[in-house]
């Protein structure tokens, strides 16, 4: 990899190890749960009537979701955790780097947004 100043560095297996921490935080000494387990926990906290829909609509967003192979890896791990009767689908939209910004922009443009907002006085 060539840095902006022209210096060339070689990145070895570190490029894989840093992303592995998303799925296996213990790899870097953390006792937190991995990404697939966090999705499982989140879906488990929701009403039982919508869980199947949530399993079928796991949407990746943010810059870290751009790691190569992330969607496939998450899908594989979620399939292993989900009930066997459930269809798991991980969606990786091409514009996911900006999904939070796009969603905020849409929300802010809604006529109902003012009723959702909290003012400084409140």
Domain spanning 35-116: CATH superfamily? ATPase, nucleotide binding domain (3.30.420.40)
At residue 43, the pLDDT reads 98
Enter the pTM of the model: 0.77
CB-CB contact of 92 with 61 (8 Å): no
Distance in angstroms (rounded) separating the CA atoms of residues 38 and 23: 10
Distance in angstroms (rounded) separating the CA atoms of residues 17 and 28: 9
With CA atoms as reference, report the closest residue to 65 among 33, 40, 100: 100
Mean residue pLDDT across the chain: 92
pLDDT digits (tens, 9 = 90+) for 90-113: 999 999 999 989 999 999 999 998
Q: What is the DSSP string of 68-93?
A: TTHHHHHHHHHHHHS-TTPPP-EE--
pLDDT digits (tens, 9 = 90+) for 36-61: 999 999 999 999 999 999 999 999 99
């Amino acid at each position: 990899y060539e840095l902006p100043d022209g210096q060339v560095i070689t990145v070895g297996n570190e490029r894989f190890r840093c992303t592995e921490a998303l799925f296996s935080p213990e790899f870097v000494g953390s006792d937190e749960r991995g990404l697939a387990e966090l999705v499982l926990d989140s879906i488990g906290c929701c009403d039982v009537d919508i869980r199947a829909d949530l399993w079928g609509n796991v949407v990746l967003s943010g810059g870290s979701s751009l790691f190569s192979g992330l969607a496939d890896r998450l899908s594989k791990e979620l399939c292993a955790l989900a009930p066997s009767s459930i269809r798991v689908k991980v969606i990786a939209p091409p514009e996911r780097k900006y999904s939070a910004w796009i969603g905020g922009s849409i929300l802010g443009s809604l006529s109902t947004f003012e009723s959702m907002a909290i003012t400084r006085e409140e």
